[in-house]
Amino acid sequence: MSIVAVSSLADKIRRYLNQKNPSALRRLLSRHNFADIADVMENSLSREQAMACFQYLNVGQAAQVLASVNEDLQHACLSSLPTVMGSQILRMMPTDDAVDILQEMDTAESQRILEEMPFDTDTRTLHHLMMEEPDSAAGIMSTDYISVSVEATVGEAMGMVRRAEEKDFIYYCYLVDSEERLVGVVSLKQLILLDESVPLSRIAQFDVKSLLVNYDQELVANVFRKYYNLLAMPVVDPDNTLRGIVTLDDIIDVIEEETSEDIYKASGITLEEMDERGLLIGPEFRAFKARFPWLSITMGGQFLASTIIAHFSHTVATAVVAISFMPLLTGLSGNMGTQSETITVRGLALEIITDNNITSMLLRETRVALITGSFFATCVGILSYIIYHKWQLSLLLAAWIVISQCTFAFLGMLIPYGFKRLFKVDPAGMGGPFITTLSDILTFLVYLSVVSLFLREMI
């Protein structure tokens, strides 16, 4: 939908809301795609206007729109409706989307909505999924899939497809045995093209790619990357019992979430209590808490660096020319470390860096640093000699650049790998702030020590 069309839809919604013309507003909304309505509600209407607009959607549209808007607007829209209406909308949604919304709500509020639902299979499924870890395969899976007996025919499977609900994912039909264990899979395309009398066992793929219920969502995303031609993958328990499916649209959300999280962590920002929107429009104190941890560590590290400089006050006051290069040295070493750390975190996430190749990867990164370090060492050494005519200083600068580039490239890869393997934590949080602070401390300590040792040659 174009920007002009979005603006036009928003203007019409505002006009009908101001005119208190519900019939016209309902007709307008019924003619537009849910994605366009969600876009307008989220970006073009005020919070109050969006909540009012939501009340004029039919239940099916409301379910689709609710799954498409941000978390804050979801809660606002649900809270504007009677509990009975909210429960009806959630029952129309795919189970994974409904569970995501319920898990983010206040416990008492989500319980009131669940109590309004008839206690049938769908409601029991919601209760069960809400107890799963949100960031696991079980936490993001949907139970809206089609499964049939492995002994069934194409005609029987097509009968199941015809009886499916609108929210069911019907692109694959999963075959199970008498104990609901996953056996095989057939695609909807196969079912449409073949005669109804053909047994499914003759056309099924029995080497089924599946996910365990306890897989972390990042691992699930990596499996999807490997088998990128699949629109969905089944989720099974350790006994291979079919529990649900994870669809491609869920994985897109996971990849976006994990990528955003890694970007923020690399800058020392934690999102444990808020989403990324909260950093911009959420409460200021919560944003402060998200930024506080690594800024505190940076402050402590830089305070230590300042005491090192103070300890070498005589050298700083005497060898002004040599000291003037310190920002250049810390900048080069810190950037090399951050680059290596970023590459390593991404390599670990994509499973490109493993226990089997970490040694060769470390050596490769060190060789890259040696090449870049030699280039910049030559440039800085020549320029400093042309300007100041002190070959000892030029030699020191060149040597330190080569050594520091190799050292921090090595540490930039080794530190996140070590945290990942030894402490089983996400290495993204060990990123830029840690590396740059460590770079400053070591540069000040080693470089100032060498300058002090050869002070006469440096002035």
The pLDDT tens digits for 210-259 are 999 999 888 888 888 777 678 899 999 999 999 999 998 888 888 877 77
Q: 405: pLDDT confidence band, cut at 50, 70 and 90?
A: very high
Q: Is pLDDT above 80 for 125?
A: no
Residue 265 to residues 29, 133, 203, 428, Cα–Cα distance (Å): 40, 22, 47, 5
The pLDDT assigned to 186 comes to: 94
- pLDDT tens digits, one per residue of 339-384: 898 888 888 877 789 889 999 999 999 999 999 999 999 999 999 9
pLDDT of residue 459: 62
> Does 270 score more than 70 pLDDT?
no
Q: Specify the higher pLDDT residue, 64 or 167.
A: 64
* Per-residue pLDDT band at 118 (split at 50, 70, 90): confident
Instruction: Spell out the residues 6+ positions from residue 362 whose beta carbon is closer than 8 angstroms to its own.
Output: 410, 413, 414
pLDDT at 12 over 70: yes
pTM of the model: 0.62
Mean pLDDT of 143-172: 89
* Predicted local distance difference test score (pLDDT) of residue 298: 81
The answer, yes or no, to whether residue 273 has pLDDT greater than 60, is no
Mean pLDDT of 102-131: 79
pLDDT band at 28 (very low <50, low <70, confident <90, very high): very high
Token pair for 352: 């490109």
b/e map 210-239, b = 16+ CB within 10 Å: bbbbebebbbbbbbbeeeeebebbbbbeee
pLDDT band with cut points at 50, 70 and 90 for residue 267:
low
Mean pLDDT of 397-423: 90
The Cα 276–Cα 262 span in angstroms is 11
Tell me the backbone φ, ψ of residue 236, rounded to 5 degrees: -125, 160
Q: How far is it, in rounded angstroms, from Cα 26 to Cα 16?
A: 10
Q: What is the pLDDT of residue 275?
A: 60
- Of 17-31, 89-103, 180-194, least confident by mean pLDDT is 89-103
Q: What integer pLDDT is reported at residue 96 of this predicted model?
A: 79
| Between 290 and 448, residue with greater pLDDT | 448
Per-residue model confidence (pLDDT) at position 255: 80
Confidence band for 14, pLDDT divided at 50, 70 and 90: very high
Taken in order 273, 277, 281, 284, the sign of the CA dihedral is positive
pLDDT at 250: 84
- Give the integer Cα–Cα distance in Å for 99 and 132: 10
- 389, 379, 393, 376: which is closest to 450 by C-alpha? 393
pLDDT tops 60 at residue 334: yes
Please check the confidence at residue 276 and state whether its pLDDT lies above 60: no
**Contact indicator for 350, 222 with CB cutoff of 8 Å:** yes
State yes or no: pLDDT of 135 exceeds 90: no
Share of the chain above pLDDT 70, in %: 92
